[in-house]
Structure 1
Amino acid sequence: MHLHSRAIIYFDMIRRCGSIREAARRLHVSSSAVNRQLLQLEEELQAPLFDRLPTGLQLTPAGEVFSRHVLTVLQDQHRLASELGLLRGVHRGSVSVAAVEGLNADILPLAMRQMHQRHPGITMRVQTCGSTQVVQALIAGEADVGIGFAIERHEHIRQCALRSFGLGAVVPGAHPLAGRARVTFADCAAYPLILPTPALSIWALLQPVMRHFKGRVHVGVEVSSVELGKNLAAQGLGVFFQSRIGLERDIAEGVLAHVPLDAPQAMLSELGVYVRAGRALSPALDAFLQILLQVIERYPQPADPEAVLP
């Protein structure tokens, strides 16, 4: 079996677009050329790779298997080019990141600044999405590294690091709870609450205590965005709950306070860093991972409440 690189590239674009016509448009070739390559692939593999549906093309089981092979080939090709570039002294390449919203405030900017300082020739691409989409982006080959909260084990992704961050009450700097060392949920329930929807991993952490306090709290707003939640808290609309991740600047400026929750069972939000399983890391990706993990390691664990944030 001999698979041509053009056929692999065409297949991958069809997979991404779900349409031969759109794949052809992005590749700047004719639809017939793309279709011809696909038919040749299916004939050589002796299996249909896509189901032709009214809504577009969808991978068959054989297509799913082949797509994993294609992603490995394309990523290895990228890694080879990067390593050859390093041998020539040309520090070029790219790293694609899929990360949850809370990392945009501090962790990602810090890591990317250090990456730019050490490796200015590396291009960074960042996609902000939910934790579920982080996994999907890794599996689909749309991201080299994924960072998210409460990501479950998956056979197609590999965990590089995991850190736990305690949940706390987020209130304005002048709020009555802001000066406390710790607060209970009952303390917070004396005020309107800003709660997450199931789209956020914080929702699952709060469910046990919410069931206990059912009917005894006033929920002012429900949000599917941590950025919106903290901004509403800053405006005095209620008490929000999250880890300190994403609040660094607001805490430093006194706009918000993060008060650890005192609960019978620790409420820990787990931040994980992931890559696609079975892939070799390019020099650019390996360099960024080292920097990213160093930045994350500087953040205090729940057992270190007095530690100073970077």
Structure 2
Amino acid sequence: MALRNMRIWRYIDEVARVGSVRQAASRLNVTPSALLRRIQDVEYDLNAAVFERHASGVQLTAAGEVLIHWIRRQNADLRRVYSQIEELSGLQLGEIRIACSQAVARSFIIKEILEFQKLHPKVRFHITVSDHHKALQSLIAYESDVVLIFRPSLAAEFQTILSVGQGLVAIMAADHPLAAQETLRLRDCSLYDVALPDRSFGGREIIEDRLASSSAKFNVVLETNSFDMLADYVMSNHAITFQIDIGALGWRGDPRFAVRPLHPADNPYGPLVLGQLKGRTLPLAAAKFAEQLSRRLEDLRTLPMREDAPAA
């Protein structure tokens, strides 16, 4: 396929993403009529409708689903070709697409991006913060090169690059009564109000699993998909929230907060997984960044404390 013909594939991909010819045309800076004609040309060549029109926009037909998967695979392959060409003169350009858990977005990923761009300043990053289910979907749709997610669901399309253990920690205001303890049990935390991430997050799933077999019950006074909001809330009162260890890196250095690990007796551990689409050869820039992440994650692996450590 000639490279000049990739434009129409981009057009179709954009329409599929937004579900509207008019909105896609605005984003692509073309007229809706021109965009519609290009789609109709493709439908004529395929002898099949790509989109089904309805009152609120358009959606892919079965034939369109087949075509869009091919388009996204072609785009991913083309980016890999560009990457290999760039390799001939060193890694000068490129784009890295990452889907990651909110827990690692601020405290970990940003720092790693800055380190990478010191050596490769012209490489661009596209970061999508999402839960583990959507992150896996983005791999399958070729919207992400790699993902870094906590407790991913098992999927045949997923290939693990590296998995490191992460423990849960409790986060509270520095003057909280429990801040004096080195480790905490979930039953200790149940004596205070609790603010939790919503149920789409892997850390929340661990807490729910542990509480199901425990006599401890939480009084959940706030539930949100924003970790920043959780931090702001517990800083202002005696409530407690929870985070995986790597997600608490920024808060550990903030004197307003106390970060305390949960005791191994509560089994507060889960895998933080760096992965990619199985069978896909990553573009050079993404492959090099994945190598950098792997080295750093090995240093941040959370190991269970000794079984003879004193219980809180």
The match for 1:123 is: 124
- Write out aligned runs for 1:149-160 (5 A): 149-160=150-161
The match for 1:101 is: 102
SS at match of 2:74: helix
Indicate conservation of the 8 Å contact 2:172/2:238, yes or no.
no
The match for 1:205 is: 206
- TM-score normalised by structure 1 residue count: 0.86
Taking the aligned partners of 1:274 and 1:70, their CA distance within structure 2 comes to: 22
The match for 2:269 is: 268
The match for 2:173 is: 172
The match for 2:243 is: 242
Taking the aligned partners of 2:250 and 2:91, their CA distance within structure 1 comes to: 36
CA shift for structure 1 position 70: 0.8
The match for 1:56 is: 57
Taking the aligned partners of 2:16 and 2:135, their CA distance within structure 1 comes to: 18
SS at match of 2:161: strand
Change (3 A) 1:41 1:277: farther
Q: Do structure 1's residue 232 and structure 2's residue 247 form an aligned pair? A: no
Single out whichever of 97-106 and 213-222 deviates more from structure 2: 213-222
The match for 1:137 is: 138
Q: Identity, % of aligned pairs?
A: 25
Equivalent residue letter for 1:234? M
Equivalent residue letter for 1:266? N
Equivalent residue letter for 1:301? T
The match for 1:308 is: none
Indicate conservation of the 8 Å contact 2:264/2:305, yes or no.
no
Change (3 A) 1:217 1:73: closer
Indicate conservation of the 8 Å contact 1:244/1:258, yes or no.
no
CA shift for structure 1 position 62: 2.3
Taking the aligned partners of 2:212 and 2:16, their CA distance within structure 1 comes to: 43
Single out whichever of 30-39 and 72-81 deviates more from structure 2: 30-39
SS at match of 1:177: helix
SS at match of 2:267: coil
Change (3 A) 1:43 1:304: farther
CA shift for structure 1 position 299: 0.6
Q: Do structure 1's residue 73 and structure 2's residue 74 form an aligned pair? A: yes
Change (3 A) 1:102 1:47: same
The match for 1:219 is: 220
Relative to its length, the structure with more helix (as a share) is 2
CA shift for structure 1 position 256: 2.3
Indicate conservation of the 8 Å contact 1:200/1:225, yes or no.
no
Taking the aligned partners of 2:281 and 2:177, their CA distance within structure 1 comes to: 52
Single out whichever of 108-117 and 203-212 deviates more from structure 2: 203-212
The match for 1:35 is: 36
CA shift for structure 1 position 216: 5.0
Taking the aligned partners of 1:136 and 1:289, their CA distance within structure 2 comes to: 19
Indicate conservation of the 8 Å contact 1:107/1:295, yes or no.
no
Taking the aligned partners of 1:169 and 1:295, their CA distance within structure 2 comes to: 23
The match for 2:310 is: none
CA shift for structure 1 position 71: 0.8
- Write out aligned runs for 1:256-295 (5 A): 256-262=257-263, 264=265, 266-295=267-296
Q: Number of matched residues?
A: 305
SS at match of 2:178: coil
- TM-score normalised by structure 2 residue count: 0.85
Indicate conservation of the 8 Å contact 1:145/1:275, yes or no.
yes
Q: Do structure 1's residue 47 and structure 2's residue 17 form an aligned pair? A: no
CA shift for structure 1 position 165: 0.8
Q: Summarize deviations over 1:43-83 as a string: whole Å, max 9, x none.
A: 33333222222221112222222212111111111221222
CA shift for structure 1 position 157: 3.9
The match for 1:300 is: 301
Taking the aligned partners of 2:58 and 2:187, their CA distance within structure 1 comes to: 52
Change (3 A) 1:107 1:217: closer
Can you give the 5+ residue segments of structure 2 that lack an aligned partner in the other structure?
A: 307-312
SS at match of 1:221: strand
Q: Do structure 1's residue 17 and structure 2's residue 28 form an aligned pair? A: no
Change (3 A) 1:259 1:89: closer
Q: CA RMSD in A?
A: 2.7
Change (3 A) 1:217 1:303: closer
Equivalent residue letter for 2:36? N
CA shift for structure 1 position 21: 2.6
Single out whichever of 202-211 and 291-300 deviates more from structure 2: 202-211
The match for 2:164 is: 163
